[in-house]
Each structure stands twice: as C-alpha cells, then as structure tokens.
C-alpha cells in the first residue's frame, strides 16, 4: 500500500519513504501499470492529443504549451498525427479511446459522424482547438477564421487594392505585382524580403488554455464558459 501511495499520490507519503521506493524502482526497472491502476481510480493520467501535422510551425507552440501545462498538472500527453483526413482522425481516436484516456484534444471542428458518436459515447472531456463554432463537442479554444478573412479584406481594401487572389508560388515577381497577406505569423514572415503582412494567432495561449480547461474538467472543477475565442492580431509589414 505504501509503494502504491508513493507512486500514485506522493503528497501523502514522507519524502524519505518516496526516496526508498524510487530507489527500488530504479534498481528493479519496475514500470507501474497505469492502466490497471486506472481501473480503480478511473484515471490513467494521460491525455490524447490529435493534430494534423507536426512539421507545421503553427502547431509547434500549441503542442508544447499543452505538454508543459499537462505535465505541471500531473498528466502525460500522447501525441498522434492524423494528417488532414477525417477518416484517419476517426480511426486514431477510436484506437486512443480503447486505452481509456482521461481526456482528448482534437484539432479543428470538422469531424466525421462516427467520430462524434464515439466521442460522445465515451463521456470524457474533449477540447477542440484552432477554430470556433457555436456547437462544440464539449470545450472549444480557438479563433474565427471567418473574422480573419473579413479583417484581411478590410485591410487590403483600405490599402487601395481591388483585385484579389490566393497565390502559392516561389516567384519573386509576385511581390512586385501583388499585395501578399500571410496567416499564422510564421518565423520567417518578419525576415522575408519584403516582410510579410500577416495575422498572428495565439498558439501558445491556445495550447495552455486547452490543457488547463481539460485538466480542470477531468478534476471536476467548474469552467466559466465552454467556448473561448482567443482572437488574433493583424501584423502590418511590407508585403501589403
């Protein structure tokens, strides 16, 4: 019983006792079976986080903030990459739920009916990030892409531009002919020539708030609102 308390609720055990237990753990190579322990407590102390990709700089700060905040609250993050396929996301979430996570973080608000069904049936806290909707699955931390679109239009119209297009090209001639607006304020945007006007989103704050609210709900704490709009910032530079 003392070993179990030292590993699972160390606040209830003397520091000297914890040191002895951890030394025994080190010597024996023992790995606690958290899934078995969770059968009694109904908590496994891990959170499943599903993102479309990890090589996109816009997601890096959010993922790191989630990890840092969960670690501070005593939870561990299991990160999964789903790509941009709704079907793959649904398959991954179904597999994750079989491991009984304490909560799930999903990227975006567009999910298959199958995913919505299994998430709701699981009856665990869910946080959606990176978008806004009046009908979230549970908790929502994000910003309005639609509002950014309107803000971009207003800004460019205010600059006197009247003909608009979306462009994906590594062609420096575009900088001489078009006003260019970016999104996400990626690291290179300020250092590009010309520097890129863009919209910054609070990716770190989004991750921190998502982890905090999810942990709060798992632990039975009340939240002021299930939907949080963290907003965005227009960053004016040389490209527009």
Question: pLDDT for 118-132, tens place per residue?
Answer: 898 888 999 999 999
157 burial class (0-12, 13-18, 19+ CB within 10 angstroms)? Answer: exposed
Residues 60, 67: Cα–Cα separation, whole Å = 11
- Ranges of beta strands (E only) in 83-163 are 103-107, 126-129, 139-142
**Per-residue confidence (pLDDT) for residue 170, from 0 to 100:** 52
pLDDT surpasses 60 at 177:
yes
Longest Cα–Cα distance in the chain: 73
CB 179 within 8 A of CB 239: yes
Q: What is the pTM of this model?
A: 0.68
- Tally of CB atoms within 10 A around 181: 22
Residues 52, 109: Cα–Cα separation, whole Å = 12
Residues 136, 208: Cα–Cα separation, whole Å = 19
């Amino acid at each position: 019983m003392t070993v179990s308390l030292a590993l699972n609720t160390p606040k209830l055990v003397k520091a000297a006792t914890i040191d002895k237990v951890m030394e025994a753990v080190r010597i024996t190579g023992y790995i606690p079976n958290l899934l078995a322990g969770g059968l009694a407590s109904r908590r496994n102390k891990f959170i499943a986080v599903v993102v479309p990709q990890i090589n996109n700089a816009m997601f890096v700060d959010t993922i790191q903030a989630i990890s840092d905040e969960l670690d501070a609250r005593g939870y561990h993050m299991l990160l999964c990459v789903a790509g941009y396929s709704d079907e793959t996301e649904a398959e991954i979430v179904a597999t994750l739920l079989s491991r009984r996570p304490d909560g799930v973080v999903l990227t975006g608000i567009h999910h298959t009916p199958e995913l919505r069904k299994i998430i709701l049936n699981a009856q665990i806290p869910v946080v959606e990030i990176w978008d806004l909707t009046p009908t979230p699955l549970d908790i929502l931390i994000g910003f309005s892409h639609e509002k950014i679109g309107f803000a971009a239009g207003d800004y460019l119209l205010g600059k006197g531009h009247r003909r608009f297009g979306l462009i994906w090209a590594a062609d420096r001639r575009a900088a001489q002919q078009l006003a260019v607006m970016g999104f996400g304020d990626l690291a290179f945007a300020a250092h590009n020539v010309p520097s890129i006007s863009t919209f910054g989103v609070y990716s770190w704050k989004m991750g921190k708030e998502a982890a905090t609210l999810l942990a709060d709900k798992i632990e039975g704490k009340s939240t002021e609102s299930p939907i949080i709009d963290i907003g965005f910032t227009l960053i004016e530079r040389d490209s527009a």
